[in-house]
Structure 1
Amino acid sequence: MSDKVISLKSIIGKGYKEFWRFKGRYRVVKGGRGSKKSTTAALWIIHNMMKYPLANTLVIRRTFNTHKDSTYSQLKWAAYRLEVSHLWDFKKSPLEITYKPTGQKILFRGLDDPMSITSITVDRGFLCWAWMEEAYQIQKEDDFDKIDMSIRGELPEGYFKQITLTFNPWSDKHWLKKRFFDTEDDRTLALTTTYRCNEFLGEDDRRQFELMSPRRKRIEGDGEWGIAEGLIYENWRVEDFDISKIRKAKGSESCFGLDFGYTNDPSAFIASLAIPIEGSKNRWKIYIFDEFYKPSLSNREIAENIKYKGYAKEKIIADSAEPKSIDEIKGVHGIRRLEAAEKGKDSVMAGIQFLQDCEIIVHPNCVNAEVELSNYTFKQDKEGNWLNEPIDEYNHLLDALRYSTEKLKKRRFNISALSN
């Protein structure tokens, strides 16, 4: 095998020197979009596993099925980027990556199967490192502690144990802030990175950040914590559930909504199931179980996404401000039951107030719904007083949810009759 010399600096770029060299227990990187945090973590893992022939790596996400299109693909890209992909074996069943010369492995797990994490063993060498991508999605600090405890045991001289966490900082109330950013610990490297350190972005990419509103740019561009004050919805939680079981509840209602996007704003589709809350006349538990959230979609592409997800025959309520789009998606692209929302005076606040009185449960797979619920806030006046008017940001899926639940506002039910 002939040696080939490549320049790590030219491949990785600037802004991550400290990250690359740190060998403490916790390496935590919050950053805005386009800040290279995930791609740099992937490059580090491929490079260092080849450097340390006894090291194995565990890669964690909240749900296992999100690895294939994220961490697995990023690590595969990293191997190609480092021009060493011929030395690695990429398997999808089971999902794992193996370094051929030594048998070292990169293993993938999800918090939705906790037993798969606590019982990890490796055939060769030692489990030295873990990478937790989108760590913000890990709601419970206890879940992190379980992973932390899985990286244990004595290592050979020169080796070290390390957990890397990468995430977008959507809310300052998250346990990650208090644990890693509000305290000093010589075992921890806590960094904030931005798109400015990513020299591989084009000028058009940078321009997108400059066009963001100040609040959105602070979070998504500058990697600063989202401020969880003035939240419109605080009546929600993330919880795993089996939607097939929820469908069997008496009085259940399927709700599908669509908000049209533009060049920069995403088109947002949301699917939920609502069941009446016992002891009330018109309060519902709303289970959000599916979504798509994509910018720059044509009407044809919106229809294709709906069909791909299997909802082409469902009644879908869409933004009434786009009648031509509704007509095209219905008449040309075959989504026949697409209807316009009933907008009117104060309809936004009326819809918000209705949803505020419900219980909203978000499936772990619906990441974009979680992000919007964490960031959709009311406006403030110059004196800092909260106004009864929402900021028009982080609301695409939540607008679609309002449209989809219009019919529920008109319902009245007798819970005792439903339970018979």
Structure 2
Amino acid sequence: MISLSEISLQQVVGKGYKSFWNFKGRYRVIKGGRGSKKSVTTALSIITNMMEFPLSNTLVIRKTFNTHKDSTWAQLKWASRRLGVAHLWHFKKSPLEAIYRPTGQKILFRGLDDPMSITSITVDMGYLCFCWFEEAYQVLKEDDFDKVDMSIRGEVPEGYYKQITVSFNPWNEKHWLKKRFFDEEDPDTLAITTTYKNNEFLDDADKKRFKWMKKNRPKRYKVEGNGDWGISEGAIYENWREEEFNPDKIAKLPGYKAVFGLDFGYRHDPSGFVAALVNPELKKLYIYDEHYEQAMTNSDIAEMLKRKGHAKERIIADSSEPKSIDEIYGHGINRIQGAEKGPDSINVGIQYLEQYEIIVHSYRCPNTAMELASYLWAQDKTGKFLQKPIDEFNHIMDALRYAMEQIRYGDNYTW
């Protein structure tokens, strides 16, 4: 039987992860480009920690439960083989879990799509010490992370510690992960970025591919090669930027028209409102005001529009909620009306907006910038992009499409 003390971690794990491997603080956060060995190193460290601390258990989280089997579960099973201890572990498919045979310790797998399976979690023996959030960029709400964070609580035996590992591919800089872990210094947090250059196990063919990407796909290389913040591919809107500008001055320029859009949300989704100045001839669109808030009643929305000074403007709202439009109209927003939409309205509206250079006010409209940076084409199981957007980051994006209907339809728009 091979013990961990007989294994060279430098040979098994490789270089570039010493601080990650030895850190004992609450949050161990790793952002890495493609091929940076961040996930396999995390899996190796979890197997090692479980065997070093015989009263510890681990919870592994992904956005959706059914993605574990081919990712984290398989990676941890591989890690047990890599460390030469596979005979000491039992990886079960039903229920999906891993059991350390000598002690009965468990690695449990859960998805955020089943919140009750996380908040009510218990372990048969010992303590829940470790947690791994894999592909954490898919966790869109910081509150979802906080709920799991709070479940890793309680005292642990002397010499033990509790730790949450957060691993993800580079994502746009508007994501809460950047502000939470990379922008604010915290002695209880280790936040690092790794790249394929940290992976000495890559062969010449792998390295050649990255060299080709650097030369021929520099935008993609910046993200997947260097591990910088950003989206490498699949972004719906690319011709946009943030800028501080004076909307009053823009409005006085010839050819500009103000447009306003509203998308309804409630308990789980925010209501999204957007105000913009558009010049159809120059194909320029300045977004200068927004609102982004959950649990807004129709009276709340009406009061918000009055407070912002937009009560007398023509506002194009989601026509799938005529009752909401009528109620808001009844609160004094007399020029609100439903969007016409039409066949394949989402893709048609996106194609029209793609013609425009979009300038977002740099401090008035942070949520608009966040959605523009995060709005992607959906992918199938093989990773192929589909001709439809994801159903996320689309509240202000939908409001913007509604607002632009009157420009797109021109003289044929129904007033």
TM-score (norm 1): 0.59
Indicate conservation of the 8 Å contact 2:129/2:163, yes or no.
yes
Match of 2:225 in 1: 221
Rounded Cα–Cα distance in structure 1 between residues aligned with 2:182 and 2:343: 38
Mark the CA change 1:73 to 1:373 in structure 2 (over 3 Å): closer, same or farther: farther
- Identical positions, percent: 61
Match of 1:281 in 2: 340
Indicate conservation of the 8 Å contact 1:169/1:226, yes or no.
yes
Match of 2:79 in 1: 78
Match of 2:41 in 1: 40
Mark the CA change 1:229 to 1:17 in structure 2 (over 3 Å): closer, same or farther: farther
Work out the number of aligned pairs and report it: 280
| Deviation of 1:286 (Å) | 7.9
| Deviation of 1:174 (Å) | 0.1
Rounded Cα–Cα distance in structure 1 between residues aligned with 2:344 and 2:129: 43
Match of 1:204 in 2: 205
Q: What are the superposed Cα offsets for residues 152-203 of structure 1, whole Å, 9 maximum, x if unpaired?
A: 0001010000000000122000000000000100000000000001011111
Indicate conservation of the 8 Å contact 2:119/2:151, yes or no.
yes
Indicate conservation of the 8 Å contact 1:23/1:162, yes or no.
yes
Q: What are the superposed Cα offsets for residues 26-74 of structure 1, whole Å, 9 maximum, x if unpaired?
A: 0000010000000000000011101110010000000000000000000
Rounded Cα–Cα distance in structure 2 between residues aligned with 1:3 and 1:63: 35
RMSD of aligned C-alpha atoms? 3.9
| Deviation of 1:401 (Å) | 3.9
Gap runs ≥5 in structure 2? 242-260, 269-317, 322-337, 357-370, 378-382, 390-404, 410-415
Gap runs ≥5 in structure 1? 242-274, 288-347, 358-370, 378-394, 403-408, 413-420
Indicate conservation of the 8 Å contact 2:62/2:110, yes or no.
yes
One-letter code aligned to 1:214: P
Rounded Cα–Cα distance in structure 2 between residues aligned with 1:2 and 1:226: 43
Indicate conservation of the 8 Å contact 1:31/1:194, yes or no.
yes
Indicate conservation of the 8 Å contact 1:276/1:284, yes or no.
no
Match of 2:119 in 1: 118
Indicate conservation of the 8 Å contact 1:24/1:187, yes or no.
yes
| Deviation of 1:282 (Å) | 3.2
SS in 2 for 1:218: helix
Rounded Cα–Cα distance in structure 2 between residues aligned with 1:109 and 1:70: 13
Match of 2:32 in 1: 31
Rounded Cα–Cα distance in structure 2 between residues aligned with 1:229 and 1:182: 27
Rounded Cα–Cα distance in structure 1 between residues aligned with 2:384 and 2:2: 53
- Equivalences for residues 164-175 of structure 1 within 5 A: 164-175=165-176
Indicate conservation of the 8 Å contact 1:276/1:285, yes or no.
no
Mark the CA change 1:349 to 1:99 in structure 2 (over 3 Å): closer, same or farther: same
One-letter code aligned to 2:340: K
Mark the CA change 1:209 to 1:276 in structure 2 (over 3 Å): closer, same or farther: farther
Mark the CA change 1:352 to 1:95 in structure 2 (over 3 Å): closer, same or farther: same
1:352 matched to 2:411? The reply is no
Deviates more, 1:2-11 or 1:127-136: 2-11
One-letter code aligned to 1:282: K
Rounded Cα–Cα distance in structure 2 between residues aligned with 1:129 and 1:175: 22
| Deviation of 1:277 (Å) | 4.8
TM-score (norm 2): 0.60
Match of 2:158 in 1: 157
Rounded Cα–Cα distance in structure 1 between residues aligned with 2:104 and 2:375: 44
One-letter code aligned to 1:352: Q
- Equivalences for residues 337-348 of structure 1 within 5 A: none
SS in 2 for 1:282: coil
Rounded Cα–Cα distance in structure 1 between residues aligned with 2:156 and 2:345: 49
Match of 1:344 in 2: none
Indicate conservation of the 8 Å contact 2:27/2:188, yes or no.
yes
One-letter code aligned to 1:78: A
Match of 1:313 in 2: none
Mark the CA change 1:231 to 1:83 in structure 2 (over 3 Å): closer, same or farther: same
Rounded Cα–Cα distance in structure 2 between residues aligned with 1:21 and 1:122: 26
Mark the CA change 1:143 to 1:285 in structure 2 (over 3 Å): closer, same or farther: farther
- Equivalences for residues 260-299 of structure 1 within 5 A: 277=320, 279-283=338-342
- Equivalences for residues 125-204 of structure 1 within 5 A: 125-204=126-205
| Deviation of 1:208 (Å) | 1.3
| Deviation of 1:14 (Å) | 0.5
One-letter code aligned to 2:221: K
Indicate conservation of the 8 Å contact 1:233/1:373, yes or no.
no
Mark the CA change 1:233 to 1:94 in structure 2 (over 3 Å): closer, same or farther: farther
Match of 2:305 in 1: none
| Deviation of 1:233 (Å) | 9.5
Which structure would you say has the larger Rg?
2
Rounded Cα–Cα distance in structure 2 between residues aligned with 1:78 and 1:51: 15
Indicate conservation of the 8 Å contact 1:277/1:285, yes or no.
no
Mark the CA change 1:25 to 1:356 in structure 2 (over 3 Å): closer, same or farther: farther
One-letter code aligned to 2:222: R
Match of 1:397 in 2: 385
SS in 1 for 2:385: helix
Match of 1:15 in 2: 16
Deviates more, 1:31-40 or 1:201-210: 201-210
Indicate conservation of the 8 Å contact 1:14/1:198, yes or no.
yes
Indicate conservation of the 8 Å contact 2:237/2:375, yes or no.
no
Match of 1:298 in 2: none
One-letter code aligned to 2:160: Y
- Equivalences for residues 224-373 of structure 1 within 5 A: 224-226=228-230, 231=238, 277=320, 279-283=338-342, 352-353=351-352
SS in 2 for 1:211: helix
Indicate conservation of the 8 Å contact 1:231/1:374, yes or no.
no
